[in-house]
Structure 1
Amino acid sequence: MKTKFTYKLTILISAFLLISTCSFAAEGNIRKKKEKNKVQQVIDTLKYNVYKGKIQDKKSKEPLIFATISVKGLNIATVSNNEGKFLLKIEKGLPVNTIEVSYIGYKNLNVPISTLKPKKNILALESAFVPLEEINIYPLDPELLVRGILKKVGENYSTSPNMMKGFYRETIRKNRTYVAISEAVVNIHKAGYKQARRDQVQIFKGRKSQDVKKMDTLLFKLQGGPTTALLLDVIKNPYNLFADDFIESYNFSLNSITRINEKIHYVIEFEQKKEIDIPLYYGMLYVEADNLALSSAKFSLNLSDPEEASSLFIKRKPIGVKVNPTSADYLVNYYEDNGKWYFNYARGEINFKCNWKRKLFNTNYSAMAEIAITDRTEDEIIKFKPADKFKSNQVLIEEVNNFADKNFWGAHNTIEPDQSIESAIRKLKRKAK
C-alpha cells in the first residue's frame, strides 16, 4: 500500500511594489500587553466617533472604489474599499466640522460631520467635466509633462521628514477562496522626497488568520509587508518606475483631461516601446496641470513574456510546478496639503497560475497588498531603532498574532473590509479555534 505524502512548499514573492517584509520588534511588547489590550480596546472605542458608509456615483449609483475620505483641517483620512464602503474613526473632542470626499473625475463633496450617522451613510459624487476653455496651456508634447514631474519633485513634494500612521492589509486567495489575511497598524518615518534615506516602518499592532490546508501543496508567503508596499511611492523611489531610462523606454500620449480635488489634471498614457524586450509597464499618470505634480498613477506589468515576468516575482518554488503571473496591477495616490503633495494610498495585486506536471487542473492564486495613510504630522520626528524596523526579508503573517475581536483596533482608522474578506475572516477564525 502506497502512502501519499502531502508536502508544503513555499513560494516567496518579492516583487517590487506589492509584497513587503516586516521587522516586528514590537511583537514581544504586544504579547506582554495582551491582557491590557482586552480592557483597553473597549476604552478606545468609547473615545472615538465611528462613521461607516458608501461612496457612489450620483447618477448610476455605482460604487467608487479607493475614493479618499479626509477630515478637513486635520491630517486624518481613509479610503473606500472594493465595494465603495468606508470606515472613518475620529477622536472625540477634536475640532471637526467637515469631511471631504474626492475621486478622480468627480467634484469634491464636502459633508458636515453633524449630518453623518454612525452607519449607512450614502455619499454621492457628481462627475466633473472640464471645458477646454479652462485649460490655459494645452500641451502638445506629453513627454515634456513627464519630464516636468521629475524636474519639480523638490518643489511639489515635502522635502522634510514626516511621521505617519497607516493601515496595511495583505491577502492571499486560492481560486476564489481567501486562505490568508494579515492586517497591521504601522508607524512610518517618511523621509523627505529629496533625501537619500529610505522610509522606515514599525509595526504597532498586527493580526492574522490563515488556512494552510486550503493552500494545497503550495504555501504562498508575501515577503516584505508594508515596507515593500511603500516602494509604490514612485516619486520617493523613482527607480521602480521613473528609472533613468524611463523617458527613452516608453511612448507617451495625452489621453484626456480630468479633475482631482477640484484641480485640472492631464491624464498621460504610457507603454513601453516595441523594441524594448524586457518586461516594463503600461498605464496612466495623472498630472496636476499648474504645478506638474503627479497625484496618481495606475500601471500594470507587461506580461507578454510570462517566464521573464515570473523571474521578477518568484523567489523560491518547488520542482515540478510552473508558476506564471497572469496580471500585475498597481495604484498609488497622493494628496495635497498647503501646496505640498504627500503619499496617501497604494495597492498592488498579482494573480498567478500554478501548473503541476502531474495534475490535470491548474490552480490560481491571487496576492494583494494595500496601505493607506490615516494620519500625518511633521512634529516629533523619530527614527526607529534597527531592532524596531520592519525589514524587507520578513513575512508579516509569521510575525503577528491571530485575529482578536472586532474592537481590537478601536483607536485606529482602517480600510473597511469587503464582504468577501469579512466572510473569510469569520471562517478562518472558526477553524483556528
Structure 2
Amino acid sequence: MRILDIKFNGYTKSLLMFFSMLFVAVQSFAFQPSDIKYVEYKGEVVNARNGRPISSAYLALNNSNISTITNADGEFSLKVPDDLTEATVTISVLGFQSKTLPLSYFKGSNTRIELDETVEELEEVSLYKATNPSLLVKEMLDKKNVNYISDNSLMTSFYRETIKKGWSNVSLSEAVVKIYKSPYNSSKKDLVSLYKARKSTDYDKLDTVALKLRGGPFNTLYLDMMKYTEYVLRPEMLDSYEFSFDDPTKINDRYTYVVNFKEIDESDPWYYGKLFIDAETSTLVKADYSLNVDDRDAAAAMFVKKKPSGSKVYPTELNYQVNYAQNDGKWHYAYGKAQMDYVVNWKRKIFNSKYKINSEMVVTDWQEYADNDWKKSADLIHPNVVMVDDVSGFADAEFWGSNNIIEPEKSIQNAIDKIKRKMDDE
C-alpha cells in the first residue's frame, strides 16, 4: 500500500493509493428507520428566462428539518412523510428569487419549477452598513457562538463521491451517514457513522492504482468553515488575508454581503474565494473558495509525500463550496462540495492520466440530540476510513428506502446502469 499525503497549511488531507483492495465493513446501528410511509417527488428546477437547469438549488420542507438539493442537471428527488400533505416547500439558490410552493404542486415525476433571476439593484439598499470588509469578517467569526447551533445535533446526510479518468466514471461511492454534530461553540470534533453505503470501482481503468480520498464523508464535513476555522479562516491569521467587497446579493431573499478574500503570501499554494455574509446578522451563509496550485513544483513539494516509483503526481485544481441553512434563528452546516483535479505522469508512458474527484454531502434531516450515549450506540468511522466495496445496492431500486438522496446526474446514472447490466450478466 502506498500513501499519498496531501497537506493544507499544516493540516493533512490524503489520497490513498492501493495495489490491493481494502475492504471496510459497514454495520447498521441503533438509529433504524421508523414505520412512517414516505412519498417521493421528482422534478427539475430551471431558469424561468431560458429554461436552463439550476444546480445546487436548495429545497426545504417548511416547518420540518427535511431538505435536499438539485444535481448538476437541475434534477431533484424529495421524500416526504405521507402525513405532511399540507406542507410547503421553499426553493432557493444564489442569484435567483426564492419560491415557496405547496406540496400539492409536486408530482411523482416531471415536476418543473421555474425560478426568476434576481434583478434588484442591491447596491442602493441602505441596509448595507459595513464599510470595512476585514472588520466584517472578524465580526462574523466573533458571532459564531451566537449565530450557529449551540446544542448537540444528530444529522442525516447523503454523501456521493465520483472519480473520473478523462470523461469516464471509474469509481462511484454513495452513502447515507449519521453525523453527531457538536455545538459550534465546542472544540469537540463531529462524529460520523455509515448507515448505508455502496461503492463500485473499475480498478483496471485506474492504471492498477486505486485512488481514493481518505475520509470519505469527512472531506466534505470538514468544509464547515465556521466549525473548523483552523483549516482556512483562523481568527489569529486574518491579517494574512486581503479582503474586499464585491457586489452584494440576496440568498433566500435575505440581503447578503459578498467579500472577496485572498492569502497575501503566495510562496506556497494559497486560498482565495468569496464569503457570503448575511447583512442583518453577520452570519456566513455560503462560501465558494479554491486553493491556487499554479506552481506545480511548490504544490508537489507541499502535497505529495509518497508516490509510486516512476511517477509524478500533482494537483491542478482544488475548488470548495459550503452552504448553511437556518432553523429557528440558528444556522448550521447544510451542504459541502469538494472538487479535485490532478495529474499522474508516468515515465514510461507517452500520455499522462488526468483524474477528477468530486465529493458532495447534503444534510437531509436533523434533530437536537441531548443523549450522551451516541458513541456507544453507533459504529463510528474514523476520518481515515475508505468507503466500502459493496455493489449490491446498485441493483436494488429500494436500497435507500425513505432516505433523501441527491438525484444522480446523467453521467452517474449511466455508470449505475452499466453496473446493473454487468451484474445482470454475471
Q: Same fold (TM over 0.5)?
A: yes
Higher relative contact order (CA 8 A, sep 6+): 1
Could you say what secondary structure the match of 1:318 adopts? coil
3-state DSSP class of the match of 1:143? helix
Judged with a 3 Å threshold, the aligned counterparts in structure 2 of structure 1 residues 210 and 263 are, in CA distance, closer, same or farther, namely same
Residues 108 and 220 (structure 1), Cα distance of their counterparts in 2 relative to 1, 3 Å cut:
same
Q: CA deviation at 1:261?
A: 1.2
Q: Aligned pair 1:185/2:161, yes or no? A: no
> In the alignment, is residue 228 of structure 1 matched against residue 219 of structure 2?
yes
Contact 1:14–1:222 (CA under 8 A) maintained in structure 2:
no
Give the aligned partner of residue 331 of structure 2: 341
Deviation readout 1:60-94 (Å, 9 max, x if unpaired): 22221111001010000000111111110112113
**Residue matched to 1:413:** 404
Instruction: Determine if contact 2:316/2:342 at 8 Å carries over to the other structure.
Output: yes
| Paired letter, 2:153 | N
Secondary structure in structure 2 of the residue aligned to 1:183: strand
Which moves more between the two structures, 389-398 or 68-77? 389-398
Whether the aligned pair in 1 keeps the contact of 2:260 and 2:273 (CA below 8 Å) is: yes
User: Hey, what's the Cα distance between the residues in 1 that align with 2:105 and 2:224?
Assistant: 35
Q: Which amino acid aligns with 1:157?
A: Y
Shift of 1:181: 0.6
Amino acid at match of 2:205: K
**Following superposition of structure 1 onto structure 2, how do residues 31-430 of structure 1 map, counting pairs within 5 Å?**
47-94=37-84, 96-128=86-118, 129-273=120-264, 275-310=265-300, 313-314=303-304, 316-379=306-369, 381=371, 382-385=373-376, 388-398=379-389, 403-430=394-421
| Corresponding letter in the other structure for 1:289 | A
The amino acid of 1:308's aligned partner reads A
Structure 1 gaps, min length 5: 1-8, 31-36
SS of the residue corresponding to residue 219 of structure 2 reads helix
Task: Indicate the residue corresponding to 1:3 in structure 2.
Answer: none
How many Å apart are 1:244 and its aligned residue? 4.0
CA distance in 2, matches of 1:64, 1:15: 33
Moved over 6 A (4+): 15-21
Question: Cα offset for 1:20?
Answer: 9.4
Whichever residue aligns with residue 27 of structure 1, its letter is: V
Change (3 A) 1:244 1:380: closer
What is the TM-score with the length of structure 1 in the denominator? 0.88
Greater mean alpha carbon deviation, residues 421-430 or residues 283-292: 421-430
The amino acid that maps onto 1:347 is K
- Mapped to 1, the partners of 2:331 and 2:311 lie a distance apart of 44
Q: Is the 8 A contact 1:18 1:229 kept in 2?
A: no
Say if 1:53 and 1:247 are closer, same or farther in 2 by CA, change over 3 A.
same
Say if 1:320 and 1:357, in contact at 8 Å, map to a contact too: yes
Cα gap change, 1:56 to 1:169, in 2 (>3 Å): same
TM-score, length-scaled by structure 2? 0.89
Q: Percent identity?
A: 36
**1:210/1:428 contact within 8 Å kept:** no
C-alpha spacing 1:315/1:367, structure 2 compared with 1 (3 Å):
farther
**Counterpart residue type for residue 342 of structure 2:** F
Task: Give distance in 1, aligned partners of 2:86 and 2:375.
Answer: 31
SS in 2 for 1:396: coil
2:162 is paired with a residue whose SS is: strand
Partner of 2:20: none
Amino acid in structure 1 at the alignment position of 2:352:
N
Alpha-carbon deviation of 1:58? 1.1
Partner Cα distance (1:50, 1:422) in 2? 18
Give per-residue Cα distances to partners, 1:306-330, cap 9 Å, x unaligned: 2333456546420111111111000
Supply the AA of the counterpart residue of 1:343. Answer: Y
Give the conservation status (yes or no) of the 8 Å contact 1:49–1:92: yes
Unaligned runs of 5+ in 2: 17-22
Residue equivalent to 1:34: none
Local SS of the residue matching 2:350: coil
Aligned length: 412
The one-letter code of the counterpart of 2:310 is: G
Q: Does the aligned pair in 2 maintain the 1:20–1:392 contact within 8 Å?
A: no
CA change 1:150–1:287 in 2 (3 A) is same
Alpha-carbon distance in 2 for matches of 1:79, 1:146: 27
CA separation of 1:328/1:263 partners in 2, compared to 1, >3 Å: closer, same or farther?
Answer: same
RMSD, matched Cα: 2.7
Deviations 1:35-82 (A, max 9, x none): xx9xx9xx98x9211111111111122221111001010000000111
Q: Deviations over 1:174-197 (max 9, x none)?
A: 111111111111111000001011
- Amino acid in structure 2 at the alignment position of 1:79: I
